[in-house]
Amino acid sequence: MADAGVDVVREYDDRSWAEDGLTRAVEDVVESGHVLAFPHLAFALADAERRFLDPRWADGKAKNVSLRWPAGELRGASGEPGDLAALQRMIARYADRSETLALRLFPHYRGQLRRGNTSFRPVDVAGRVRSWRQDDTRLHVDAFPSNPMQGTRLLRVFCNVNPSGAARRWRVGEPFEAHARRYLDAIQRPLPGSAWLMAAAGITKRRRTEYDHLMLQLHDRAKADAEFQRSSPQARVDFAPGTTWVCFSDQVLHAAMGGQHMLEQTFQLDAPHLAQPASAPLAILERLTGRALLSA
């Protein structure tokens, strides 16, 4: 596996999620496409919560167990009401810790960071049989067919809570600009009227802008390209249990190769509120195409 030049992980020694923790104001590190890793930042479970580290709590239909905010309702789980309430509290505590951490690491985003879904993933990566488009063992940047982001960034806080020593095994890949250049010339512009039509038909939750079209094309072309998967610049990264890591998953090429039991908090941030908006995929794609990508 080629790993020439792929060196995207930056490690920090933090041992606390709280406001008085070690690292702060590292917006430039995350915005330039790094993964911030905290090998000593475990998410502590109460003894009574350890039983949740079991795939039986996932209802088998949804990809993950998740909380939807602002109400924090639990989705994708099955069990008795009392157990589900305790599971909800565990995941909600992770959401709170992640938010405190993110605002300390990135104080520039204060007042602008929106809490998205929180997910709990007790199912083994190896057991998640998926179509190629949903196969997250293939390198990709995050982009979703039905959920156009319209330039809004996806900041994610992950934590491996595996109780038996198994790492979350990722691959990470080339910088976003190199990735965009790889496929951009081959991507056709969307058909006139298609964004309106997909929104009107409920296929998309809102307009799929040209930015979203390009991001989805990058996601799909990368996953469908076996040669890219095999031989593009990449590196393996193992996140041991007790490790927390943070990245913009719409910018960092990533793939989950193995592991079980992870928590993940998504935050949304509108690109103008980045410390350096020119580092965003939106700005990079607008520079490379020479046109505005959010307009009609």
Query: Binding residues for ligand SIN, per CB under 6 A?
Result: 121, 136, 168, 249, 254, 256, 262
Specify the residue, 153 or 168, whose C-beta has the smaller distance to ligand SIN.
168
Task: Using CB under 5 A, count the residues that bind Fe ion.
Answer: 1
Contact predicate 145/204, CB 8 Å: yes
Nearer to ligand SIN, 136 or 270 (CB): 136
Per-residue binding letters, 93-132, with Fe ion (x by CB under 5 A) = ----------------------------------------
Compare residues 237 and 293 and give the one whose CB is closer to ligand SIN: 237
Residue 188 CA to residue 134 CA, distance in Å, equals 22
Say if CB 204 and CB 215 are below 8 A apart: no
Q: Which one, 108 or 118, has the nearer CB to ligand SIN? A: 118
Tokens of 8: 């995207």
Residue 69 structure tokens: 């905010």
168's contact among ligand SIN, Fe ion, none, with CB below 5 to 8 A by partner kind, is ligand SIN
Query: Which of the listed partners (ligand SIN, Fe ion, none) does 260 bind, with a CB threshold of 5 to 8 Å by partner kind?
Result: none
Give the one entry of ligand SIN, Fe ion, none that residue 223 binds, where binding means its C-beta sits below a cut-off of 5 to 8 angstroms depending on kind.
none
Among the listed residues 53, 54, 77, 82, the one whose alpha carbon sits nearest the alpha carbon of residue 67: 77
Task: For the CB of residue 220, give the shortest distance to ligand SIN in the complex, in Å.
Answer: 14
Q: Tell me the DSSP string of 235-269.
A: EEEEE-TT-EEEEETTTS-EEEEE---EEEEEEEE
Query: How many other β-carbons are positioned within 10 Å of the β-carbon of residue 99?
Result: 17
256 binds, among ligand SIN, Fe ion, none (CB under 5 to 8 A by kind): ligand SIN
135 binds Fe ion (CB under 5 A): no
CB of 30 to Fe ion, least distance (A): 16
For residue 212, the minimal CB distance to ligand SIN (Å) is: 18
Give min distance, CB of 142 to Fe ion, in A: 4
Q: Which of residues 139-178 bind Fe ion (CB under 5 A)?
A: 142
Q: Residue 78 Cβ, how far from Fe ion at the closest point, in Å?
A: 25
CB of 83 to Fe ion, least distance (A): 29
Residues of this chain that interact with Fe ion (CB under 5 A) are 142
